[in-house]
Amino acid sequence: MNVYDSARMQDVLAPLGYAPTERAEDADMVILNTCHIRENASEKVFSELGRLRPLKQARPGMIFAVAGCVAQAEGPEIVARAPFVDIVMGPQTYHRLPEMVARAARAAGAVIETEFPAESKFDHLPDSAAPAISAFLTIQEGCDKFCSFCVVPYTRGAEASRPMAAVLAEARQLVAGGAREIVLLGQNVNAWHGDAGGLGRLVRELAEIPDLLRIRYTTSHPRDMDDDLIAAHRDVPALVPFLHLPVQSGSDRVLAAMNRGHTADHYRRLVDRLRAARRDLALSTDIIAGHPGETEADHQATLALIRDIGFAQAFSFKYSPRPGTPAAAARQIAEVEKDRRLAEIQGLLRDQQHVFNRACAGKMVKVLFTGPGRHPGQVAGRSPWLQPVHMTGPASLIGTETTVRIAEGHPNSLAAEPLPQTEELACA
């Protein structure tokens, strides 16, 4: 979502004459768009500010801004630790950037905007200038679920859905600008609801847009996976057969302590229903190792759930205590124990990902090519299951969804080769 927000900040600033640069040294303004979800993400902000400080000393006219969830959670603390910062703005206020830039030029101290404004930023953002072939589109923000470990309800605010008409208009504009895949974003994207239904309905409406080849959504919560959305996986070919569905733990005791509102078996049954709806569906998930109270038996239950489901991809993290959350106040698991559990989880998940990738070898797969590959003469893209794919091929493939043959499944990517041009040979 920060990638989407950063692109929108560029759109807001473009009329003022700002354009992106590759290096902070070349910039008139530097914006750090930050994440507060885990401690090391947060701490990175302060080390990055330390690294950038000499630039400001050399050119006092440069503007430094900190945006995103660290700004939201630690506004005054940022200014105290890094007094050269000119603007601190939460994730709901960046549509006011032009005004903040003007105020920063006049103000003696930092401009801090971290309240949740009454107006929606989405109503005040201009159209996106140059959408990517796989473009993000935020449709839902915030969270009311208050999991024990998580800062999102505090930093992103209450759950809110953008209206269907606004989402469809932005999607049409992205596709007109060249996007061929839209990734719908939300902290709880499947909690999205419009006047006439939920995410399943929105997906069906989006699938009507000509030239929109693929639809994805992330991140979804198991509790919000309703019947209509499951049916959309069966009915809508453009909805990719891949779903990121975080489970966090395989132990009912830990899931209850986390306030997740479902059991491990609920998750298993949900996955069965999704796979029944779409036979080739592959899953990805998030796992937390070492939440307070997690015993060895709970950890084993997580490993068992991972084995039962078989994930194509996953993200796993060591539990990180976050200020102001209930789990941070509980008795903590020793760091070395968290490390050991995380290593076991990651070993298993890595093996599952490699097995999934290897199983693709020899298969025909539709790839959406999104740009040049790392080596000259190569193109790169994604399979429907989000695997990075690279192939020797012409740049004219970029922006197309093309069926290719997977030559090899590597641990983190697939190598492909073009299909033989059989029809052309027949004509010749």
Nearest-approach distance from CB 223 to ligand SF4, in angstroms: 8
> Should residue 150 be labelled a site residue for ligand SAH when binding is judged by CB under 6 A?
yes
Binding residue for ligand SF4, selected from 143, 174, 203, 245, defined by CB under 6 A:
143
Strand order of the β-sheet with 181-185 is 134-138, 181-185, 214-218
Q: Minimal CA–CA distance to 353: which of 383, 380, 381, 379? A: 383
Per rule CB under 6 A, is residue 192 in the interface with ligand SAH? no
x/- map, 243-262, ligand SAH, by CB under 6 A: ---x-x--------------
The least CB distance from residue 152 to ligand SF4, in Å, is 4
Does position 160 bind ligand SF4 by CB under 6 A? no
- Give the DSSP H or E segment for 370: strand 364-372
Q: Return the closest-CA partner of residue 208 out of 156, 145, 164.
A: 164
Smallest distance, ligand SF4 to C-beta of residue 338, A? 18
Residues numbered 256-295 forming contacts with ligand SAH, rule: CB under 6 A: 286, 288
Q: How far is CA 339 from CA 60, 318, 319, 328, in A?
A: 43, 7, 10, 18
Tokens 């007109």 correspond to: 176
Q: Residue 352 touches which of ligand SAH, ligand SF4, none (CB < 5 to 8 A by kind)?
A: none
Name residues contacting ligand SF4, limited to 393-422 (CB under 6 A). Answer: none
Is 346 a residue that touches ligand SAH (CB under 6 A)?
A: no
Out of ligand SAH, ligand SF4, none, what residue 182 binds, judged by CB under 5 to 8 A for its kind, is: none
Closer Cβ to ligand SAH, 49 or 147, answer by number: 147
Q: How far apart are CA 35 and CA 41, in angstroms?
A: 6
Measured CA to CA, the distance from residue 93 to residue 31 in angstroms comes to: 14
190 near 228, Cβ under 8 Å? no
137 binds ligand SAH per the rule CB under 6 A: no
Token representation of residue 240: 């990719």
According to the binding rule CB under 6 A, does residue 221 interact with ligand SF4?
Answer: yes
| Helix (H), strand (E) at residue 47 | helix 39-58
Half-sphere exposure of 63 (CA within 13 A, CB side): 22
- Which positions touch ligand SAH (CB under 6 A)? 37-38, 149-150, 152, 187-188, 219, 221, 246, 248, 286, 288, 317, 319-320, 322
Applying CB under 6 A, the residues found at the interface with ligand SF4 are: 143, 145-147, 150, 152-153, 187-188, 221
